[in-house]
Structure formats: C-alpha cells, structure tokens
C-alpha cells in the first residue's frame, strides 16, 4: 500500500482497549500529583487535569475475530509488522487468544506488544506460547516516588519484575520506553541508560507529545532529543547504529561492552514524518493514518454491515492514500487530537 506521498505502509498498531490501570502524566493525568505539577509550572494549565471519563462500551470494541480478519486483509496488502497496544492491552480478557489469531497469519513477520508491565507476569507464558515475538514496557523512572508521580500508581517493583521475566522467556529484544518531561524525570536520563546497559535492554527516550487527556501539554515541558543525546554523551561513549530501514522512528546508539541499545525518538523537535509507514486501528474500529490525525475512518461499521474482504481491502487502500504528510506539531493552527494516547493506541 502506497500513500499519496510515496510512502509504503508496512506497520499496523492495534489498540485492543482504551482502558488503563495507570494514570500517566503524558496520557491520563488524573491524580493529585499531576494537578500539583501542572499548577506549579504553567499558569494556563487547567484547574484540574481530572476529566469525566467514559470508557468505550464492550459492544463497541472490535472482537478478536474482527481484528484477526482485518489483520489478514492488511497482510495481503503488505502489512507485516503488528504491534498490540492500548490503553493497557493486558486489561483485555484472554489477550493471548488474539495473539494466537494474529500469529496464525503467515504474513506477520514481527508481532509485538506495548504494556505498562504491571500485570505482565500473570500472562507472560501464555502470550509467549501464543506467538508473541517481543514486548515493550513503559518505565519512566527508577525511583519509587517519581514512578508514582509519573504513573499515578505504585508499580515499579512489578514493572522491573516483568522486564526480567520477559528476558527469561526469550522475548527479544526487550524494549523499554521512557517519556521524558522537563521538571519531572529529566534528571534520571543517565540512570535509565545505565539500567539499560546493565540489563542489556533496548531503551527508547521519547519526547513528550501533546496527547494527554488534560490538554495541559506545553512545549516548555519537552526535553529535545538533542539535549538528551548531549547529556548521554557526557556519561557514555556511545557508538551510532546504522539505520536498518528509513522508517525507523529512533536514532540509535550502542554502549560499548554491553548488548544494550539506546534510542531517541524526537517527534516534536525532529519530526520523521517523511518516512512514516504506520497505520493505527483503535479499539472501537477506527483507522487512523497518523498519531495526530483529526479524522478517523470507520472500519467497524463496514465490517458489521457485511462488507466483503475485497470491499474492505479497497477501503483500506483508499484510506492509506489519504495519509497526512506530517503531524504539524509546533506549527500555527496545530490541533491536538480529541482522543488521548490511551484511546488512540501507542
């Protein structure tokens, strides 16, 4: 599938739920700690980041069979990388059954999942047995108090345990994402990198993006990728990695003497839209052609009214052709998506 800007799409991110058991500052900032953080730094932040939340009803979610059907259609059109996301995907009951359905498609070359890791231990073996290739965990701090401020939960012990378990099960590489917010966890950048070095992890530092439900994002909160890199280079003799394909979102480095890999994803300060090869499917069956799309394309209703695979394939081609050229963050008139990251899928 090729869009109107000449990009070939190969990567599909599938959200299976908009629910989450964490309340991260950069996604669902609904805790007192989040309120105090925003109040203390930016006068134009809302009085409270808490908002009335209404989760998507179960009947509106795509079933596992509907998701698997779409994966089959997408694979026939060239998609070969699948990532299951949320919300927190492990809140979706019997998720391993969906993993098995997706893994059964011969066109799926890479099957991954992103999770906050809190309940991974309960599902890890079933997911591995079902065909999961690799996993990415969110880990924004190594300090219990800061972890609680960032996520709204006491869960650091569980996440660290999940990282070790994933490695023991042979999920490789085990990736860790850290969203860096100025004034919160930016002082932990070297410590997080050293943790990745010691544990042979693939760590991704990610710039804070305007996808929070409170709409309290300000550019002042963003620690640019170049600043993160300069700090890391003071502590580690980083060796650049050659990009394996032009659609990579991260610039990557090796730490000599370790299997660890450090990456920086800088969508705000250094956009990589020109090579984007991703589509997103929300839990309620909407196709999004960009993380920051303001328009969604309804797959669920087409499926449920009985459209054939051929019709859905044509619809997919038409949707891909409309993919945006870029996300427009920082440009005049930029519009933050109505839905937060937990609804869109990471």
Can you give the CATH number for the domain in which 199 is found? 3.20.20.70
- 190 occurs within a structural domain: yes
User: Rounded to whole angstroms, how far apart are CA atoms 274 and 320?
Assistant: 15
Using an 8 Å Cβ cutoff, are 145 and 111 in contact?
no
- 319 occurs within a structural domain: no
User: Rounded to whole angstroms, how far apart are CA atoms 137 and 159?
Assistant: 8
Structural tokens at position 324: 């945006």
User: What average pLDDT does range 56-76 have in this prediction?
Assistant: 96
pLDDT band at 94 (very low <50, low <70, confident <90, very high): very high
Name the least confident of 32-41, 83-92, 257-266, 311-320: 32-41
User: Rounded to whole angstroms, how far apart are CA atoms 237 and 254?
Assistant: 9
User: What average pLDDT does range 197-203 have in this prediction?
Assistant: 96
User: What average pLDDT does range 269-293 have in this prediction?
Assistant: 89
Name the least confident of 53-62, 166-175, 298-307, 337-346: 337-346
pLDDT of residue 129: 98
Using an 8 Å Cβ cutoff, are 149 and 189 in contact?
no
- 2 occurs within a structural domain: no
- 53 occurs within a structural domain: yes
- 29 occurs within a structural domain: yes
Structural tokens at position 308: 């054939």
Name the DSSP class of 2: B
Q: Which domain holds residue 61?
A: 11-314+324-344
Q: How many domains does the chain have?
A: 1
pLDDT of residue 49: 47
- 3 occurs within a structural domain: no
pTM of the predicted model, to two decimals? 0.91
- 262 occurs within a structural domain: yes
- 96 occurs within a structural domain: yes
Q: Of the candidates 269, 260, 105, which has an alpha carbon nearest to the alpha carbon of residue 195?
A: 260
- Around Cβ 273, how many Cβ atoms within 10 Å? 18
């Amino acid at each position: 599938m090729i869009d109107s800007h000449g990009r070939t799409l190969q990567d599909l991110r599938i959200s299976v739920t908009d629910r989450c058991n964490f309340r991260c500052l950069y996604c669902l900032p609904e805790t007192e700690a989040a309120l105090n953080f925003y109040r203390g730094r930016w006068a134009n932040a809302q009085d409270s980041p808490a908002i009335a939340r209404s989760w998507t009803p179960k009947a509106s979610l795509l079933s596992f069979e509907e998701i698997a059907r779409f994966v089959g259609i997408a694979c026939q059109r060239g998609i070969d990388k699948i990532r299951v996301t949320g919300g927190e995907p492990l809140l979706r009951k019997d998720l391993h059954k969906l993993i098995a359905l997706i893994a059964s498609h011969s066109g799926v070359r890479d099957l991954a999942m992103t999770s906050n890791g809190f309940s991974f231990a309960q599902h890890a073996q079933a997911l591995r047995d079902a065909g999961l290739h690799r996993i990415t965990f969110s880990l924004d701090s190594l300090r219990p108090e800061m972890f609680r401020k960032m996520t709204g939960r006491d869960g650091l012990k569980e996440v660290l345990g999940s990282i070790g378990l994933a490695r023991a099960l042979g999920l490789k590489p085990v990736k860790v994402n850290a969203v860096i917010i100025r004034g919160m966890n930016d002082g932990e950048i070297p410590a997080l990198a050293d943790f990745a070095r010691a544990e042979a992890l693939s760590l991704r530092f990610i710039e804070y993006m305007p996808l929070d439900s409170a709409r309290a994002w300000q550019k002042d909160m963003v620690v640019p990728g170049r600043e993160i890199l300069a700090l890391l280079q003071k502590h580690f003799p980083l060796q650049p990695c050659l990009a394996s394909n032009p659609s990579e979102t991260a610039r990557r480095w090796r730490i000599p003497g370790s299997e660890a890999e450090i990456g920086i994803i800088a969508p705000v300060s250094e956009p990589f839209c020109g090579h984007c090869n991703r589509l997103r499917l929300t839990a309620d069956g909407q196709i999004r052609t960009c993380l920051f799309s303001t328009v969604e394309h309804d797959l669920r209703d087409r499926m449920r009214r009985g459209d054939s695979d051929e019709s859905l394939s044509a619809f997919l081609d038409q949707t891909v052709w409309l993919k945006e050229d870029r996300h427009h963050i920082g440009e005049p008139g930029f519009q933050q998506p109505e839905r937060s990251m937990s609804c869109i899928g990471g």
